[in-house]
Chains A and B, each alone.
Chain A
Amino acid sequence: MIVLLQVDNLVVNYGVINAVKGVSFKINQGEIVSLIGANGAGKTTILKTISGLLKPQSGKIIYQNKEIQSQKAPKVVAEGISQVPEGRHVFSGLSVMENLQMGSFLERDRNQIKQRFAEVFDRFPILKQRKHQDAATLSGGEQQMLAMGRALMANPKLILLDEPSMGLAPIFINEIFDIIKEINQQGTTVLLIEQNAKKALSIADRGYVLATGSVQMSGTGEELLANREVQKAYLGG
Chain B
Amino acid sequence: MDTLFQQIINGLSLGSIYALLALGYTMVYGIIKLINFAHGDIYMLGAFWGYYVINTWHFNFISALLSAMVVGAASGVIIEYFAYRPLRHSPRITALITAIGVSFFLENGMSYLFSSNTRDFPQIIKQVNYHIGGVLISNIQVLILVTACALMVLLQLIIKKTKMGRAMRAVSVDADAAELVGININWTISFTFALGSALAGAAGVLIGLYYNSIDPLMGMTPGIKAFVAAVLGGIGSVPGASVGGFLIGILETFVQSIGLSAYKDAVVYFVLIVILLILPAGIFGKNVKEKV
Contacts and interface: CB of A to CB of B under 8 A. Distances in A.
A85 B174 CA distance: 12
B179 A91 contact: no
A94 B181 CA distance: 14
A53 B182 contact: no
Nearest to A135: B173
A106 B179 contact: no
Interface stretch (B96-104, B124-132, B162-170, B256-264): B162-170
Interface centre among A53, A98, A102, A106 (most CB of B within 10 A): A102
Contact of A93 (B167, B173, B178, B180): B173
Nearest to B176: A53
Given A53-B176, A85-B176, A85-B177, A91 B169 contact: yes
Interface string A47-59: 0000111000000
A83 B180 contact: yes
Contacts of A73: 179-180, 182
B166 A94 contact: yes
Interface residues of A, number: 26
A102 B182 CA distance: 9
B183 interface: yes
B181 A150 contact: yes
B156 interface: no
Interface stretch (A15-23, A74-82, A222-230): A74-82
Contacts of B176: 53, 85, 89
Contact of A77 (B167, B172, B181): B181
A91 B173 contact: yes
Interface in A82-103: 82-83, 85, 87, 89-94, 98, 101-103
A89 B174 contact: yes
Given A74-B184, A87-B291, A102 B179 contact: no
A105 B167 contact: yes
A154 B180 CA distance: 10
B182 A94 contact: no
Nearest to B167: A105
Contacts of A72: 179
A74 B166 contact: no
Contacts of B170: 91, 94, 102
A106 B173 CA distance: 19
A125 to B, nearest CB: 22
B166 to A, nearest CB: 6
A105 B180 contact: no
B188 to A, nearest CB: 11
Contacts of A82: 180-181
B164 to A, nearest CB: 10
A51 B176 CA distance: 10
A198 B5 CA distance: 72
Interface string B78-105: 0000000000000000000000000000
A52 B174 CA distance: 16
A12 to B, nearest CB: 16
Contact of A53 (B180, B183, B291): B180
A101 to B, nearest CB: 6
Interface centre among B176, B179, B180, B291 (most CB of A within 10 A): B180
A122 B179 CA distance: 26
Contacts of A106: 181-182
A105 B173 contact: no
Interface centre among B173, B177, B181, B182 (most CB of A within 10 A): B181
A154 B173 CA distance: 20
Interface in B127-184: 163, 166-167, 169-170, 172-174, 176-184
10 contacts: A77-B180, A78-B182, A85-B177, A91-B169, A93-B169, A94-B166, A102-B166, A102-B181, A105-B181, A150-B181
The 8 A-B pairs at the shortest CB distance, nearest first, are namely: A89-B177, A73-B179, A106-B182, A77-B182, A74-B182, A105-B182, A91-B170, A105-B181
Interface of A: 51-53, 72-74, 77-78, 82-83, 85, 87, 89-94, 98, 101-103, 105-106, 150, 154
Given A85-B176, A93-B172, A106-B182, 4 more contacts: A87-B291, A91-B170, A98-B166, A150-B181
